[in-house]
Chains A and B, each alone.
Chain A
Amino acid sequence: NAGVTQTPKFQVLKTGQSMTLQCAQDMNHEYMSWYRQDPGMGLRLIHYSVGAGITDQGEVPNGYNVSRSTTEDFPLRLLSAAPSQTSVYFCASSFGQTREKLFFGSGTQLSVL
Chain B
Amino acid sequence: AQSVAQPEDQVNVAEGNPLTVKCTYSVSGNPYLFWYVQYPNRGLQFLLKYITGDNLVKGSYGFEAEFNKSQTSFHLKKPSALVSDSALYFCAVINGGYQKVTFGTGTKLQVIP
Binding site for B on A (CB under 8 A): 4, 33, 35, 40-45, 48, 50, 56, 58-59, 90, 92, 97-107
How far does the alpha carbon of A5 sit from the alpha carbon of B94 in the complex, in Å? Answer: 24
* Closest residue of A by beta carbon distance from B94: A99
Binding site for A on B (CB under 8 A): 6, 9, 32, 34, 36, 41-46, 49, 51, 90, 94, 98-106
Task: Give the distance to chain B from A8, nearest Cβ to Cβ, in Å.
Answer: 14
Do B98 and A102 touch across chains, with their CB atoms under 8 A apart?
no
Chain A residues with Cβ below 8 Å from B49 are: 100-101
Chain A residues with Cβ below 8 Å from B34 are: 101-102
Chain B residues with Cβ below 8 Å from A48 are: 99-100
Given known contacts A100-B32, A100-B51, A33 and B101 CB-to-CB distance under 8 angstroms: yes
Do B44 and A102 touch across chains, with their CB atoms under 8 A apart?
yes
Do A102 and B101 touch across chains, with their CB atoms under 8 A apart?
yes
Do A102 and B36 touch across chains, with their CB atoms under 8 A apart?
yes
How far does the alpha carbon of A40 sit from the alpha carbon of B51 in the complex, in Å? Answer: 27
